[in-house]
A and B are shown apart, each in its own frame.
Chain A
């Protein structure tokens, strides 16, 4: 029973993760870097530290939605649900949106806990079946995401066939251009050391922040709106059907993303949303939060599954340096810690959302956005130096292309990671050499 203390480690991780999650622009990859600093500064029981990491991820997945909802600073995983959350904020239902996304995450927790007893049986089978096909699955996913974009309504139907064809392909072409430009950036950033050597482990952080957080914040700054008074109620006008559907869809997409290398929660969410016909803002919000939890915590969970031997996600890789799961017992301990930490994180989410909802009314969205932008720039500078700011600027330029041309922001991340798909297919080195970045 002395191992009960390990559950407290998970809760401690939730507190640390919650503090970090409030900082806009931070990503679990940065958490992993911070985790190293923590371990070096406070050497301790590696299992305890691993459970702190788990708690940090849980906090990021659950408590972190406060930033998305109230401050409008999404990352690649919350981009998917940022728009409905902010819509709710503008309706004065920010608290409701925040807690509803938390409920989605808790639904994902339940599904993950239900999956746990079967994990060591089914995941090794998946692994053996799927690993040889990763590269073409990823390329298939890329083509699907690029080509499945629905043509946007530009306000009037063109009179000529060519005009209609042009309109039909406008968003698709913008998506392909976004994808191509992001791929070029990917070839450079993933092959050439740009950030200082001591900060190399954070080299893609400025890219992610530039792709998602900064353009969103800039858009918010341009919106010139004030946040209306927020309703804080214990009743949410969300149907249980939407909750169930959104949670299931999000969990499927999140676990797919957790399992499949390179695929992120956003991409998994789109695939799962399409395959399960997810509809409406509520389902998108719920599935987004469920997928985000499944993606981050699910990837970490895979690292612990007995005999699976699968490391996915930055936090798992970092954890692998200091700790390796040793027994089935430790896997069950992780699951217990996830359960306790998730409940703790949800309670924090409810409490903090209530506090933020009460104080945020009347705040200028522009002022909040400026503060967020300054915070983001300082964080990027701290993590990756001046070189990181240069990358951030370039990535922001690319990140502004999708909202301007009304195409998916996911194309950015697909393009950025496409060089890795090509590496898996054995083509990456040749192309990098051709581009002069090898």
Chain B
């Protein structure tokens, strides 16, 4: 370089120095704008390739449910699978489960789907609520909980792609047989007939039992369904129905899952045997019978370990006829006026099923079946009054009696972690006494419980308690404080 040389970068004279003493530019180290242009072309080439990849992967790629781990909590993913249970209708959402077969077990391959308002109401209005057996592909936010359970939340109805399942005509027997072998009907939609023989009300649903040719199958109807249906279900025991539903799985057993009331159509009602109550015995086991009579006593039974009432026995006509056994959950299905009338003195006619029961009269009891609307007429009945308690002897065990007297003593019978049962000593006008045994689930329901000195009227059955005769009331109303 010479003195005249100027720096090509800053334009100042360099006096031959390299790099430039003013700006540090080294003329040997050169890059032109062409290099930048080549870089741009490379970038655009990448862009073209990626755009082609974009076009070739338009279809969403669902992930396997079994591959979901805690790192995917709150992430947005596509899932695809067959609806395996539900839908369960809530006030702000519907939920159902999907299964994709990606894991070793059903649990590993399943996840819960929750669709919130307004998406789920839109699905209802579009008749696109997924049903067991349908195939769904959906996009939503995953939740992975500490216990390992997973859930995907779908926020718009457009994020759910639904393919309705084809229906398979079958019978309960075929379904049961296939379930025992290859489970080919699991998570499929079926159409079959059955007779309603029972209902088991749960907190969130009713489980109906359908029978056909001696084989039974459960049918799950979620309580929330009613709120979103135009047609209400009015099912009764012994109705023959056709059901178009999905087959889900509960505790290893098949269960029909109802997504819409229109999936059930009533074909007719089977008659029950009309047999006088006193003629019913163990030879009629499992038969459906229509029985009637006057209620002479209602006896509640409580649950061990709580104050919950589990069922009630209804005595018809007298102590020598088989008793009606009514599960409390079924009792709760009755209308309010029916519940009020289901008491001592009323006339009742109902459909029941004869079941073996060793402790029952004749070795049987009659199960009150739900759902049904029993015929009830108001009436009165009181057992004979026993004025002199000394007249109650061991021979009277099992008899219904009415006694009036004054409470002279109150004894607590401790129950672990629960209020005590109460044992009153009741004295008649002749100085005789008898024990009145009031279980805690009755006593705790009394608004004005009797105290020592109270004059009370008790209706109950004569029983033995700790080797002594006692009278045990059946319901709260059987204990009445006279003064």
Contact = CB atoms under 8 A, between A and B. Distances in A.
A238 B40 contact: no
B270 interface: no
> What size tier do the contact residues of chain B reach?
35 or more
B13 to A, nearest CB: 14
A352 interface: no
B58 A236 contact: no
Question: Do most interface residues of chain A lie in helix, strand or loop, or is the interface mixed?
Answer: helix
Interface string A305-329: 0110100000000000000111111
B420 to A, nearest CB: 49
Interface of A: 1, 3-4, 7, 88, 91-93, 96, 99-100, 102-103, 106-107, 109-110, 113-114, 116, 124, 127-128, 231, 233-240, 242-243, 281, 306-307, 309, 324-330, 332-333, 335-340, 342-343, 346-347, 350
Interface stretch (B23-31, B124-132, B192-200): B23-31
Given A235-B32, A343-B43, A93 B9 contact: yes
B72 interface: yes
A92 B43 CA distance: 30
A3 B9 CA distance: 44
Contacts of A346: 36, 40
A281 B29 CA distance: 14
A329 B32 contact: no
Interface in B66-88: 71-72, 74-78
B453 interface: no
B118 interface: no
B71 A96 contact: no
Contact of B25 (A128, A237, A326, A328): A237
Interface stretch (B46-54, B180-188, B206-214): B46-54
User: Does more than half of chain B's interface fall in helix, strand or loop, or is it mixed?
Assistant: mixed
A332 B29 contact: no
A335 B55 CA distance: 13
**Lowest 6 CB-CB distances: which A-B pairs, in order?**
A339-B47, A309-B75, A91-B23, A239-B29, A332-B54, A237-B25
Given A92-B10, A324-B76, A236 B32 contact: yes
A336 B9 contact: no
A306 B50 CA distance: 14
Interface string B1-19: 0000000111100000000
A110 B43 contact: yes
22 contacts: A1-B55, A3-B54, A91-B24, A106-B36, A116-B50, A124-B71, A234-B32, A235-B32, A236-B30, A236-B32, A236-B33, A237-B25, A239-B31, A306-B61, A307-B63, A309-B74, A329-B57, A332-B53, A336-B54, A339-B43, A339-B44, A342-B43
Contacts of A350: 33, 36
A339 B41 CA distance: 10
Contact of B9 (A231, A243, A306, A327): A231
A339 B45 CA distance: 9
B139 interface: yes
Interface string B135-165: 0000101000000000000000000000000
Nearest to A242: B29
A7 B40 CA distance: 16
Given A3-B54, A103-B36, A332-B54, A309 B31 contact: no
Contacts of A347: 40
B42 interface: yes
Nearest to A281: B24
B31 A240 contact: yes
B250 interface: no
A239 B26 contact: yes
B430 interface: no
Nearest to B40: A343
- Interface core residue of B8, B51, B58, B60 (most chain A CB under 10 Å): B51
The CB with the most chain A CB atoms within 10 A, among B36, B44, B53, B71, is that of: B36
Contacts of B22: 91
A110 B75 CA distance: 28
A242 B30 CA distance: 11
Interface in B239-284: none
B39 interface: yes
A354 B42 CA distance: 23
A114 B8 CA distance: 35
A347 B402 CA distance: 104
Contacts of B54: 3, 329-330, 332-333, 336
B61 A93 contact: no
Contacts of A339: 43-44, 46-47, 50
